[in-house]
Amino acid sequence: MGLFDRLFGKKKQEETKHDEPVIEKEVVENTQEPKNEEETRETTELTEVSPKPVDLENVTDESVSKVIDIEREEVSKEIADGPVSKEKTISPERENVVVTDEKTVLSVTDEKAAEITDKEVNSEVSTIAKENVTDEDEEEIVIDIDALANIFTQSREETEKKYEQSLTLTRKTFSDGFNELFANFRTVDEEFFEELEETLIMSDVGVDLAMEVTEELRKEAKLINAKSTDDLRQLIIEKIVDKFDGEKLPTQLDIQPEGLSILLFVGVNGVGKTTTIGKLAARYKNEGKKVLLAAADTFRAGAIDQLVEWGNRSQVEVVTKPAGSDPAAVVFDALAKAKSENYDILLVDTAGRLQNKDNLMKELEKIGKVIKREVPDAPHETILALDATTGQNAIQQAKEFSAVTPITGIALTKLDGSAKGGIVLSIVQSLKIPVKLIGLGEKIDDLQDFDEEFFVRGLFKELL
């Protein structure tokens, strides 16, 4: 299923699902009141949960209580024998219980659990466990899945709302362009396709993608014998969205599970590179990681002071040298400190003098050699910061920086103040470089991991 069907076809699927008859589980009740505790235990054993896979959508409170009792006894034994592995095979009676470390039992009690990935659960469990478990506490903690799901759902909803608000100007550009196109044309002819191509280009999706989508629509229109432009309205958006989804580029930052992760940041002056580093440092600091910054942009006036200020805000250390120093020397000192003091994350700010590419290339090459000599598999990411408000100029910057150093990801800044958010589609399609970070505002927590589903939904939902 393509991205378009997953996002915009979901509503129809849900409506169909609600029309299907619901088959309720048969509930067997014991009408006789047990005479004593022994008889109660025997009755419970006779009516034990059958060893069948548990349907999360139909789990009852009664069955959950029984499973929790079983799980408490099992986990107590496992804790006594050693650490619990969350990948341990779980018996059929316990298939609705997820066992995690931190002496924690997570009971899955409703369908909300299906929406939570292992990574997200572990992150929330780790946070809650650290807040509630003391060294003296040797009992397992049963976490209410409803509370956990609510925390996760609220976080997702807040992030999606930020996307929608930040894409307001871009969404208006798309809507106005397409509404004008469909208002001016009632029939499908060659003039319509030429105007469609122009509309897509003006929406900053890129010339190549605009031409490709238009040509495919010409063929599709003949196949379905489209007579009116309304016949193609949804198809146009579907083509664009599925092109975006087709690349399958990794959007997550490559953070090492153990040891030092080194992220190198490049970009021309003024795009928000240093601000992006500061916000990312604050995020990792809040996650409990030990973060170090390296002020290797030693030639731009104020660059060092700006990074030091972000270090103060984020409460992380910054390695500096006097203005005009060798950038590679700053990186060398930062690497030595990061390795000797067991840092988790090293974020390196570099110069952005693209107008003097020869010097910039030599600096980045030297920095790269210093990093690889100390950490052979680093840098783990080379992130290019681009200003969304520059539109197609950002594409040119990306091409020029790619000629200087391999780029593994894009940090797209200032999206909230731009009507040119379509540049994301152009970057992914023409450069084959994933967007990994996106700036949705000026606050310290407005730097978000890029989420293609939130982006696409926020961009196109009003057009369908």
Cα–Cα distances in Å, from 418 out to 251, 411, 457? 22, 15, 17
Residue 51: alpha-carbon gap to chain centroid: 37
Distance CA 314, CA 296 (A): 18
pLDDT digits (tens, 9 = 90+) for 378-420: 999 999 999 988 888 888 888 888 888 899 999 999 988 888 8
- Which residues neighbour 177 within 8 Å (Cβ) at sequence distance 6 or greater? 199, 202, 203
Left if phi > 0, otherwise alpha if psi is -120 to 50, otherwise beta: which for 138? Answer: alpha
pLDDT value, residue 111 = 42
Computed over every residue of the chain, the mean pLDDT equals 75
Provide mean pLDDT across the span 42-62: 47
Residue 214 pLDDT > 50, yes or no?
yes
Give the span between the Cα atoms of 289 and 106, in whole angstroms. 25
Report which of 183, 202, 194, 244 is spatially closest to residue 218, judged by C-alpha positions: 194
pLDDT number for residue 126: 47
Quick one: tokens of 220? 């599709």
What span, in angstroms and rounded, lies between the C-alpha atoms of 112 and 303? 46
What CATH superfamily is the domain 168-246? SRP54, nucleotide-binding domain (1.20.120.140)
At 70 the pLDDT is: 59
Tell the CATH superfamily of the 261-451 domain: P-loop containing nucleotide triphosphate hydrolases (3.40.50.300)
Question: What pLDDT score does 271 carry?
Answer: 92
Higher pLDDT, 145 or 399: 399
Decide which of 185 and 290 is more confident.
Answer: 290
Taking only the tens place, the pLDDT of each residue in 262-275 is 999 999 888 999 99
SS3 assignment, position 370? helix
Confirm if 231 and 188 have CB atoms less than 8 A apart: yes
Q: What is each CA distance from 169 to 42, 158, 197, 219, in whole angstroms?
A: 67, 19, 21, 32
- Give pLDDT tens digits for 312-335: 999 999 999 999 999 999 999 999
Supply 314's token pair. 């984020």
Predicted local distance difference test score (pLDDT) of residue 283: 94
Domain positions in the chain are: 56-146, 168-246, 261-451
Read off the DSSP letter of residue 187: B
pLDDT at 241 exceeding the cut of 90 = no
